[in-house]
Amino acid sequence: MAESNSKVFPIKLSSEFTEITKKGRKVRASSYLTLILLDSKDDLAYFGTTVSKKVGSAVVRNKLKRWVRNCVRSAGWSSKFKSKKVVFMFRPQPEGFYKKLKYSDFVECVLA
């Protein structure tokens, strides 16, 4: 692939998610978010999102996935997670937690 290194590719196959979950290193970014990191064989960055139905309604789950995609496009992402496969795993929280969560708090948690 002759793509630039700043481009980030989505993880879509369940087999890739399984591999990253089994072989990757888990980092507890906060009480609601766990990042699973695995080194990529190439120089490219990959990302995926896991959001259980226990997290909330479809509206809330889709909002979190949009936040992840937006965060991945940001400038700080490519330098921090270069040549890594990253899975964002959102954990169930008390009702209403994710509705009150702000995007800026999420980005600070991920890029800190």
- Looking at residues 35-63, what average pLDDT do you find? 93
**pLDDT digit string (tens) for 66-109?**
999 999 888 677 778 888 999 999 999 999 999 999 999 999 88
| C-alpha span between 101 and 53 (Å, rounded) | 17
Two structure tokens written together for 5: 């290194």
Let me know if domain 8-111 sits in CATH 3.30.70.3040. Answer: no
The confidence score (pLDDT) of residue 15 equals 95
- Output the CA–CA distances (angstroms, integers) from residue 39 to 7, 18, 45, 91, 112, in the order listed: 16, 14, 9, 23, 19
**pLDDT digit string (tens) for 15-48?**
999 999 999 999 999 999 999 999 998 888 899 9
Where are the domains positioned within the chain? 8-111
Predicted model pTM: 0.88
**pLDDT digit string (tens) for 5-16?**
567 899 999 999
Q: Which helix (H) or strand (E) holds 64?
A: helix 58-73
